[in-house]
Chains A and B, each alone.
Chain A
Amino acid sequence: MTRALGLAAAVLALLSLATGAAGFGLLDPVVLWEVRAPRTALAVLVGSGLAVSGAVLQGLLRNRLADPGLLGVTGGASLGAVLAYYWGLSAALPIALPAGGLAGALAAAASVLAVAARAGTGSALILAGIGVAAIASSLVAMALSLAPSPFALAEITIWLLGSLEDRSWRDVWLATPAVAAGLALLLPLGERLDALALGEETAASLGVSLGATVARAAFGTALAVGGGAAVAGGVGFVGLIVPNLLRAAIGERPGRLLVPCAFGGAALLLAADLAVRLAPLRQELRLGVLTALIGAPVLLVVALREARAA
């Protein structure tokens, strides 16, 4: 299954390199290298970061509806980026926008952890995450309502919708270390998540340090999701959909999902990014809009299935 997902991601990456406004093909080296390659690389980074984070959080919280967005990391990234716009930093220095996003994501994760680390449990993490997400979204709303000009307002709003359009290698270099470090923290958590399937106390009796696991999951998620959100904006639901789709195919043991989710997330985001480029619309559909359009119904299906099983 992992191999099939890897193959799917590779094929989609090739298609992504061959598709765009300049027509279908791999012939023009400038278009290929300057436009499509960074966009493809970012789809892989953002997608795998989101999906692995989702799988880790669902395992940690023993809840299939957990999503990186719940931890406030995406909200923090949005706030950081919006502030960079708001204070005009991004106009003076283009890298200020993604850098602000990454700083916001890390700040959000640090505040969530500062609150949750005292209790050191999954439910404390989620409560703190919801709190931080609410603070971030209200501050984003405040920045929007006080926006200095309608242009700034439009620009911020569009950024918040999430997209991989017109991204450059600079964005890739910014996101790569964060996402890679995040994945390096998250992927080895498999065994501990398996033990947590039996509850936090049983996991502790098996030698798992709960506090360290929660901290590592939160920090890893901040890097993996924050790095992506910093350059791609608010792309939601990938972390929710991918683990849930894969669970049906490869079983429910949480540790077994992590690596397949890395490939599955990359494949899903590559496919979604291809779809927004190919959709016959006057303007390119925002990636975050598409993932939400796919993700929300999946959420409803999962919720319905849960209700029926209960």
Chain B
Amino acid sequence: MIAAEQVTFARGHRPILADVSLSFHPGELSVLVGPNGAGKSTLLRLLAGLLPPDRGTVLLEGEPLDRLARRDRARRIGWLAQGAQAAWGMTVREIVALGRLPHGDGSAAAIDRALGRLGLASLAGRRIDRLSGGEAKRAMIARVLAGEPRVLLLDEPTANLDPAAAFAVMRLLREVAAEGRAVVVVLHDLALAARFADRIVLLSEGRLVADGAATSVLCDSTAGRVFGVRFGAGHAVLPA
């Protein structure tokens, strides 16, 4: 559904991604992992069309992303920034409603659905800057869901969340994927990745290192080597 083909990207002379080819499919919850600076967030931005690749192309349902109209792209791809924050004390509902902007319909039904799925119905009228970090994060995720995009690209959606809330968000993302959407998530928590991902993509220094099921990627010889850790029972992460 969304594919990067031999994508290369550099900032000045510093290479960020080198010749990465990947495709993500509907119904699949994929998790991008890798050490800081591996290029995970940059890859999400390229897939979202927020950065143009230096070489290579990104295809959305077979069409080059840069040929799509802005709004059309925005309707089909939802992107959540790492550490997303609102500049103003807008209400939760106002934030979530922004997800409908590319559709231009302000659909109350879609907004209510998104609020409900993240358990925010009772907080809809509250100012986002008066909420806890976890509640605000959920509002940001609900904003992406409200757009009902076919592709969801989420950069660390579980940061700031306690374990139970993180599980709830990952379970929800699995449900969203099961509706026939492609969901791509950047996570730092490898145990969480192992528990929920249909597929784990491991990046290191801008290159694709491994791509497959949790059992094949999160083992001492692949992810263990890249992160400098080893894995215990149940994908527990241990010092090397």
Contacts and interface: CB of A to CB of B under 8 A. Distances in A.
A198 B71 contact: no
B64 to A, nearest CB: 17
Contacts of B26: none
A199 B77 contact: no
A256 to B, nearest CB: 8
A135 interface: no
B88 A206 contact: no
A197 B90 contact: yes
A209 interface: yes
B79 A202 contact: yes
Given A197-B88, A198-B84, A205-B49, 18 more contacts: A195-B101, A197-B95, A198-B85, A199-B87, A201-B50, A202-B79, A202-B84, A205-B74, A206-B99, A206-B101, A206-B147, A207-B101, A208-B101, A252-B88, A253-B88, A253-B90, A253-B94, A254-B88
Interface string A248-272: 0001111000000000000000000
Interface residues of B, number: 31
Given A194-B98, A195-B98, A202-B81, A209 B88 contact: no
26 contacts: A62-B88, A194-B101, A195-B101, A197-B86, A197-B87, A198-B87, A198-B140, A199-B84, A201-B50, A201-B79, A205-B48, A205-B74, A205-B77, A206-B74, A206-B98, A206-B102, A206-B147, A207-B70, A207-B71, A207-B73, A207-B75, A207-B102, A208-B101, A209-B70, A251-B91, A254-B88
B34 interface: no
A191 interface: yes
A112 to B, nearest CB: 22
A194 B147 CA distance: 15
Contact of A252 (B74, B85, B89, B98): B89
Interface string A33-65: 000000000000000000000000000001100
Given A253-B90, A253-B94, A205 B78 contact: yes
Contacts of A253: 88, 90-91, 94
Given A194-B94, A253-B88, A253-B90, A201 B102 contact: no
A154 interface: no
A278 interface: no
B48 A252 contact: no
Interface string A204-218: 111111000000000
Most chain B Cβ neighbours within 10 Å, of A63, A195, A205? A205
Nearest to B149: A205
Contacts of B85: 198-199
Interface string A54-95: 000000001100000000000000000000000000000000
Majority-rule SS of A interface residues? loop
Contacts of A206: 74, 98-99, 101-102, 147
Contact of A201 (B45, B90, B143, B147): B45
A188 B55 CA distance: 37
Given A191-B101, A195-B98, A205 B79 contact: yes
Nearest to B106: A191
Interface pairs A-B: 6 shortest CB-CB: A207-B74, A62-B87, A252-B88, A205-B79, A207-B71, A207-B102
Contacts of B91: 251, 253
Interface in B31-72: 45, 48-50, 70-71
B166 to A, nearest CB: 22
A216 to B, nearest CB: 15
Interface string A226-268: 0000000000000000000000000111100000000000000
A246 to B, nearest CB: 13
Nearest to B48: A205
Contacts of A208: 70, 101
Most chain A Cβ neighbours within 10 Å, of B70, B81, B88, B89? B88
A240 B77 CA distance: 37
B102 A198 contact: no
A258 to B, nearest CB: 14
A209 B70 CA distance: 8
A120 to B, nearest CB: 13
Contacts of B84: 198-199, 202
Contact of B50 (A197, A205, A209): A205
Contacts of B98: 194-195, 197-198, 206
Contacts of B147: 206
Nearest to B71: A207
Contacts of B90: 194, 197, 251-253
